[in-house]
Amino acid sequence: MTEAGPAHRTVALHEFHVVGPTGLPVRHRTVQVVRALRPGVASYTFRFDRREASVRVLRGAMAGEPRPDVAGFTAVELRFPRPLAVGETASLEYETEFAWRSVPPPQVRRAARQKVERLEMRVAFTPGRLPAEVLWAVWDGYEPGARLRAAERVDLDDEHSAHRFTDEIEGVTVGFAWRWPPGQEPRVA
């Protein structure tokens, strides 16, 4: 691997998204394992597409200050306790919390520009605030305005959540999109 290649690979990624009683996401928890592909990997850059969010690390790293990033994204460096050697893994757990000033699109997405070996995604809804429809979807890009390329309807389970697991993704953006019953679209107070 050359220095120009990726510094690390995600070998396991678990995404848990919670939509609250107002119909707006309240938190998003990520559990991630990364493997160093070259020596001295000191951090993982987490990018997200809303300025109305903050990141709190629960274990495995320390969060740097949020900064503007490409295509309108916000980036936060999650710094490991020490640099990783080639082949060494780091296990991170972090939570994204929201303070909405505007209504976000009814979706949760994860972009995989580089290979992600295992991905689990789950979106859970408050029992009294269920969507009319939930889709497992693929978008044509990772930027905030990306269009839906393909989708399949998903039924909610007994815990009012939808779940998907895939062994590998690369070069795509996947996730869940939902539609609220007419007249029940969320609003920001």
What does the pLDDT look like over 29-79, one tens digit per residue? 999 999 999 999 999 999 887 778 889 999 999 999 989 888 778 899 999
Q: How confident is the model at residue 1 (pLDDT cuts 50, 70, 90)?
A: very low
Query: Alpha-carbon distance 25 to 20, whole Å?
Result: 6
What does the pLDDT look like over 92-110, one tens digit per residue? 999 999 889 989 999 999 9
- Sign of torsion, CA 7 137 166 120? positive
- Sign of torsion, CA 19 24 25 26? negative
**What structural domains does the chain harbor?**
8-179 (2.60.40.3140)
Q: Report the residue count for the chain.
A: 189
- Average the pLDDT over 21-29 and give the result: 95
Query: Alpha-carbon distance 111 to 98, whole Å?
Result: 19
Query: Alpha-carbon distance 176 to 170, whole Å?
Result: 17
Taking the CA atoms of residue 30, residue 36, residue 37 and residue 41 in that order, the dihedral angle to the nearest 10 degrees is 110
- Average the pLDDT over 169-180 and give the result: 93
Query: Alpha-carbon distance 174 to 166, whole Å?
Result: 10
What does the pLDDT look like over 128-169, one tens digit per residue? 999 999 999 999 887 767 888 999 999 999 999 999 999 999
